[in-house]
Amino acid sequence: MRSLIFALGVLGSMLGQCVGQGLEGAKIFPMGGERGSEASVELQGKNESWPPGVWSSHPGIAWKAREEKGKMLVAIASDTPTGLAFVRFFDSHSASSLLPVVVSRSSILVEAEPNDAYGQPQMTTGADWGFHGILDKSGDVDHIGVPMRKGERWWFSLDASRSLHSPMDSSLQILDARGNILAQNLDRFGLDPAIEWVCPADGNVSVRVFAFPETPDSTIGYAGGDAFRYLLYGKQGVDSVWEELQRDAVAITEPNDRNAPAIAVPTPTPSKLAYFGTLETRGDEDAIVLETVQAGHWRVAARSLELGSDADLVLEILDANGKSLAKQGESGEIRDPVLRDQMKAAGKYTIVVRDLHRAFGEHHRYRIELVDERPSVLGTTAKDVFVGEVGKPIELEIALERTFDCADEATFRWEGLPEGVVSEPAISRGGDDSAKKVVLKVTANQPCSIPVRVRIEQAGRTEADYATSGLHRQPHLWLIVKPAQ
């Protein structure tokens, strides 16, 4: 596969050297599709050279260019995992940024304008769907119509900031046929809203989507633009919050409190654990006992509000004698508390969670995640596409973070380079200037346009890590070497 991509890059250099416009600003719409299906996707941007090469992060997602410029067909295999994958389009002289591809288990509806008026929404069908939309200009408002029956419970969730990194602070509203607001939410998941709602009467409702800029400015009014892309999910009769809280987690049962915890973590202790539970009575608190057999750097996170639960959590860690080592959440300023590095020494600890206001009920649910974080050398690049010329060194600067004062030596190497490319590893040492930054160099003797990664080999470890781009926090980078000028 690597040699095939390299050959495509060389072929592109012969066919497309005179092309002036590249793929740098390319985007796709819709932003994915349903697994087990084919979908038409528009490659938006400058498509002077057609068709482009395509790199996909998952083999189950296959792309095919149609004859008409800008039109692609994506086929998603039925066994492709749901969630985020990535695609990049490239030619000999340019490449798109890494673009998210959303693989859904739900049917997909693509926005069709006009849908600005609540009385004329774009209608949906079915009880489980995903809607791909764009607030493409300032003042744009989208309305999605949903037929409902009295007593039906619906869950609407908008994903823009989380997965797509859209620069929007989104809002959701549910309107009746007269335009009355029946429910609304601004920030259930960070900047992304969600609404759980029971329909009071038969009829159609409109789900309204609008946004403000992620970074506030002097503009008065709703924001929009080509980057304001979102996914709206609608699901009837299923508690999506509970599904997310339970994912790969162990249930915490009652009776249970700090003096008589119901959950004991098995030994030897895994490095990653998750638990879920409900605060069922006023003043209820739940507890987990963790006994470590060696030193570690544990991160303990209590999640509720960011997952759509109503619980406003207080998290506390006690030592073997019941003494409080750390507590977070009592000020009310932290939404979902996180405690780090309170369980360094081997020993017995108790993790306690409760609601700040002593509130309780079926919607006061939570998830506890425990991760033993190792001292590491982490690398981040400012860009994800690197361009140079044949015969000239191309430099890649990598900013480093050493967690928990890690002093280990780390070696950085290019991975994915074809024959004819000369590169040397870069070494970072904890005690000099290389502790915070390294520069990797590469020199190619022929043009290419290829996927690459930067491998991080840390002393004392058998497994390697990879540097990620600050644009999308993924390790998938791209190298373009153009003919010498």
Q: Which CATH architecture has domain 107-238?
A: Sandwich (2.60)
What's the longest Cα–Cα distance across the chain?
Answer: 74
| Encoded amino acid at 66, one letter | R
CB 237 within 8 A of CB 196: no
Topology of 377-482 in CATH? Answer: Immunoglobulin-like (2.60.40)
- Torsion, Cα 104 110 115 116, to 10 degrees, reads 60
For residue 385, give every residue at least 6 positions away whose Cβ sits within 8 Å of its Cβ, in sequence order, or none: 24, 95, 97, 477, 478, 480
Return per-residue pLDDT of the chain as tens, 485 residues.
433 333 333 333 333 333 335 899 999 999 999 999 999 999 998 877 899 999 999 999 999 999 999 999 999 999 999 989 999 999 999 999 999 999 998 899 999 989 999 999 999 999 999 999 999 999 999 999 999 999 998 989 999 998 899 999 999 999 999 999 999 999 878 899 989 899 999 999 999 999 999 988 777 789 999 999 999 999 998 666 677 788 889 998 888 888 888 777 766 778 889 999 999 999 999 999 888 888 889 999 999 887 778 899 999 999 999 999 999 999 888 889 999 989 989 889 999 999 999 999 988 999 999 999 889 999 999 999 999 999 999 999 999 999 988 999 999 999 999 888 889 899 999 889 999 999 999 999 999 999 999 999 999 888 889 999 998 899 999 999 999 98
What is the model's pLDDT at position 264? 74
- Torsion, Cα 399 403 409 415, to 10 degrees, reads -50
| Encoded amino acid at 413, one letter | R
SS3 of residue 332 by DSSP: coil
| Encoded amino acid at 321, one letter | N
Select from 184, 135, 189 the least CA-distant residue to 162: 189
Cα gap 329→315, rounded to integer Å: 6
What CATH number is given for 2-104 in this structure? 2.60.40.10
Q: What is the DSSP letter of 434?
A: G
Q: Do domains 2-104 and 107-238 have the same CATH topology?
A: no
Residue 193 CA: distances (Å) to CA of 55, 159, 183, 234: 32, 8, 12, 13
CB 376 within 8 A of CB 393: no
Cα gap 372→269, rounded to integer Å: 10
CB 124 within 8 A of CB 134: no
Domain ranges of the chain: 2-104, 107-238, 245-372, 377-482
What is the model's pLDDT at position 6? 36
Rg (alpha carbons) of the chain, rounded to whole number = 25
Q: State the CB neighbour count (10 A cutoff) for residue 70.
A: 15
Beta-bridge mates of residue 217: none
What is the model's pLDDT at position 447? 93
SS3 of residue 13 by DSSP: helix
For residue 58, give every residue at least 6 positions away whose Cβ sits within 8 Å of its Cβ, in sequence order, or none: 80, 81, 85, 103
Phi, psi of 328 (to 5 degrees): -145, 140
Q: State the CB neighbour count (10 A cutoff) for residue 439.
A: 11
Q: Where are the alpha helices (DSSP H) in 215-310?
A: 240-246
Residue 347 CA: distances (Å) to CA of 293, 341, 352, 369, 397: 7, 14, 16, 19, 41
pTM over 0.85: no
CATH of 245-372 among 3.40.50.300, 3.20.20.220, 1.10.10.10, 2.60.120.380: 2.60.120.380
Beta-bridge mates of residue 339: 300
What is the model's pLDDT at position 255? 82
Select from 397, 376, 375, 373 the least CA-distant residue to 386: 397
For residue 341, give every residue at least 6 positions away whose Cβ sits within 8 Å of its Cβ, in sequence order, or none: 297, 298, 299, 404
